[in-house]
Amino acid sequence: MKVLNSPIPQFPGEVYLIEPPTLPVVSSFEQAIFAGRKLLNEYTPEGQTLPVGLSQSRYYCEVLPGIFACVERFAVKGIPENPTIENFPYKPRQAAERFVGWLIREIEKYIDEDDQIPPS
């Protein structure tokens, strides 16, 4: 299994990703990310770059299920081993948001890391 070490001081520990990522796992993650992007687009006025009237917490409620689908278990201080939307910590808020953002980026890299086609 792939192990990620959290760089967020308020959430130290390890995240164990499912290895290899299966088709249903990748699909769940991608669908959650697409749903989050759709939500961002719905709240971003034309000609603007930032959403208006959309809380970060609402966005994270949309994307967290896709993250959870990729994780075998969490060994992170302050986060249940098998979290859900209902028990995922959101305090301290900025640290929780950085943690989720970091997980999204790391999972995207993990899913895409073998997609490089070697030159022939």
In the chain, % of residues over pLDDT 70: 95
Quick one: 71 exposed, middle or buried, by C-beta within 10 A (0-12, 13-18, 19+)? buried
- Least confident range from 10-14, 15-19, 89-93, 112-116: namely 112-116
Which tens digit of pLDDT belongs to each residue from 38-65? 999 999 998 888 888 988 899 999 999 9
Tell me what pLDDT residue 120 has.
63
CA 53 to chain centre: 22
For residues 16-43, b (16+ Cβ closer than 10 Å) or e, as one string?
ebbeebeeebbebbeebbeebeebeeeb
Reading the block at residue 93, the tokens are: 């808020």
